[in-house]
């Protein structure tokens, strides 16, 4: 089936770009001590998890207990829930799953340790934890150094199975590489390593040191002592993260239909914020010069045309790049895999 016959708005992935992204990332890690643990939250597609594991990933990262449940159900061997969880029912699920798979949870507070330990006693099984360290993003995470050591000791004392450290440098992911940015990435990695040394001095082994993302994988993935990288966006590669130095190509787009042409230079397409996130900025048009997306309403997109493109008419298609894949994939239940203009596969997006 030609992809232009899909009902619109349709979420498309270019399979050739996807395979290229997959193998470029895998090639980088083949020769490194650090390994890749891709983030499931970005694509939420199980066949893409399989591809990532087959290409050398050591397991998956995820952001929610629901995502962890999907990965557990599909026997992903090792799962890092790179987020803090405080709800008892969710902690109980995680504890039970840890009997079947290697699953780890982030903690960054005494309250988090107390909650996990209390559930562990009830469930008769202690969860695996990594301590989340703030390496500059100022979101979650305990301060590196003495505060981290204190929290690790509290986790061990509470009977949790301490596995290592994570620190996400999300504030650096969308910056173009530069000596200054790379230095900040290395400084973040070093603060994790420094904390690891302090913890090991206390006789507590640190198996995992996880950091990085699609924008910084090659800097922190090459940093001595970092054991894994939690990059997610590289496969679908939204235009938000693309920069001139990125080896990854955007592979995700939205097919839309022109439903109205209220003036020679204006089109309305059947795609608004319910199908395409503009939370991090508006998308650009793919494959046609002279068209500009001006606004997204709930179900409509407003496109302006330069003179050369006003020959488009209602019923014609316009394809848009996805600017923010995380929030856009989340709006769909299917992703159509396209190659040579044909729909080759339909991926189910798990919710």
Inter-CA distances, 28 with 32, 51, 174, 236, Å: 7, 16, 20, 17
Of 56, 302, 304, 310, the residue at the interface with its own copies (CB under 8 A) is 302
Rounded Cα–Cα distance for residues 256 and 115 (Å): 47
Of residues 202-241, those binding its own copies (CB under 8 A): none
Least distance to its own copies, CB of residue 314, Å: 4
Instruction: Please identify, among the stretches 49-57, 119-127, 135-143, 205-213, the one whose residues bind its own copies according to the rule CB under 8 A.
Output: 135-143
Rounded Cα–Cα distance for residues 251 and 4 (Å): 16
Least distance to its own copies, CB of residue 205, Å: 25
Instruction: Please identify, among the stretches 158-166, 180-188, 308-316, 341-349, the one whose residues bind its own copies according to the rule CB under 8 A.
Output: 308-316
Instruction: Please identify, among the stretches 12-20, 123-131, 192-200, 326-334, the one whose residues bind its own copies according to the rule CB under 8 A.
Output: 326-334
Least distance to its own copies, CB of residue 25, Å: 20
Examine residue 115 and tell whether it contacts its own copies (CB under 8 A): yes
Under 8 Å between Cβ of 148 and 165: yes
Under 8 Å between Cβ of 147 and 61: no
Residue 19 or 84 having the CB closest to its own copies: 84
CB atoms within 10 A of CB 316: 15
Rounded Cα–Cα distance for residues 274 and 16 (Å): 27
Of 159, 245, 314, 342, the residue at the interface with its own copies (CB under 8 A) is 314
Of residues 74-93, those binding its own copies (CB under 8 A): 83-87, 89-90
Least distance to its own copies, CB of residue 305, Å: 15
Least distance to its own copies, CB of residue 112, Å: 6
Q: List the x/- string, 23-52, binding to its own copies by CB under 8 A.
A: ------------------x-----------
Rounded Cα–Cα distance for residues 36 and 218 (Å): 11
- Pairing relation of β-strands 252-263 and 317-321? antiparallel
CB atoms within 10 A of CB 284: 14
Q: How many helices (H) and strands (E) does the chain have?
A: 10, 17
Under 8 Å between Cβ of 190 and 225: no
Please report the beta strands in the chain, taking only residues with DSSP state E, as ranges in sequence order.
10-14, 35-36, 60-62, 78-84, 102-107, 128-132, 161-167, 208-211, 228-229, 252-263, 266-269, 285-286, 291-296, 301-305, 317-321, 334-339, 342-348
Least distance to its own copies, CB of residue 83, Å: 7
Examine residue 261 and tell whether it contacts its own copies (CB under 8 A): yes
Examine residue 327 and tell whether it contacts its own copies (CB under 8 A): yes
Least distance to its own copies, CB of residue 300, Å: 6
Of 203, 224, 311, 315, the residue at the interface with its own copies (CB under 8 A) is 315
CB atoms within 10 A of CB 174: 16
Least distance to its own copies, CB of residue 263, Å: 8
Of 54, 279, 292, 342, the residue at the interface with its own copies (CB under 8 A) is 279
Rounded Cα–Cα distance for residues 114 and 91 (Å): 11
Examine residue 333 and tell whether it contacts its own copies (CB under 8 A): yes
Residues in the site for its own copies, rule: CB under 8 A?
7-8, 41, 63-64, 83-87, 89-90, 108-109, 111-112, 115, 132, 134, 138-142, 170, 257-262, 266, 268, 270, 273-274, 277-279, 296-300, 302, 313-315, 326-327, 330-331, 333, 351
């Amino acid at each position: 089936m030609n992809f232009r016959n899909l009902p619109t708005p349709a979420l498309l992935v270019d399979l050739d770009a996807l395979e290229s992204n997959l193998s470029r990332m895998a090639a980088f890690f083949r020769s490194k001590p650090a390994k890749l643990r891709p983030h499931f939250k970005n694509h939420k597609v199980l066949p893409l998890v399989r591809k990532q594991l087959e290409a050398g990933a050591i397991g998956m990262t995820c952001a929610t207990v629901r995502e962890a449940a999907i990965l557990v159900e599909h026997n992903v061997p090792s799962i890092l829930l790179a987020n803090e969880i405080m709800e008892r029912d969710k902690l109980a699920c995680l504890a039970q799953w840890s009997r079947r798979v290697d699953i780890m949870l982030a903690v960054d507070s005494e309250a988090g340790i107390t909650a996990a330990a209390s559930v562990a006693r009830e469930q008769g099984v202690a969860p695996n934890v990594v301590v989340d360290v703030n390496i500059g993003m100022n979101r979650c995470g305990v301060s590196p150094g003495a505060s981290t050591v204190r929290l690790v000791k509290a986790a061990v004392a509470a009977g949790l199975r301490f596995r290592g450290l994570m620190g996400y440098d999300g504030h650096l992911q969308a910056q173009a590489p530069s000596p200054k940015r790379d230095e900040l990435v290395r400084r973040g990695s070093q603060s994790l390593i420094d904390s690891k040394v302090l913890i090991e001095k206390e006789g507590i082994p640190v198996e995992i040191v996880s950091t990085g993302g699609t924008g910084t994988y090659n800097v922190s993935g090459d940093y001595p002592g970092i054991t894994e990288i939690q990059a997610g966006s590289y496969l679908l590669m939204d235009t938000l993260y693309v920069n001139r130095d990125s080896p990854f190509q955007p592979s995700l787009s939205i097919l839309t239909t022109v439903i109205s042409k209220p003036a020679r230079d204006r089109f309305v397409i059947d795609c608004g914020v319910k199908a395409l996130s503009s939370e991090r900025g508006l998308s650009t048009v793919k494959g046609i010069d002279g068209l500009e997306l001006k606004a997204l309403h709930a179900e409509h997109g407003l496109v302006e045309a330069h003179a050369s493109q006003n020959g488009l008419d209602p019923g014609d298609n316009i394809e848009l790049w996805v600017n923010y894949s995380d929030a856009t994939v989340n709006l769909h239940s299917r992703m159509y895999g396209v190659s040579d203009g044909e729909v080759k596969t339909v991926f189910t997006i798990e919710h």
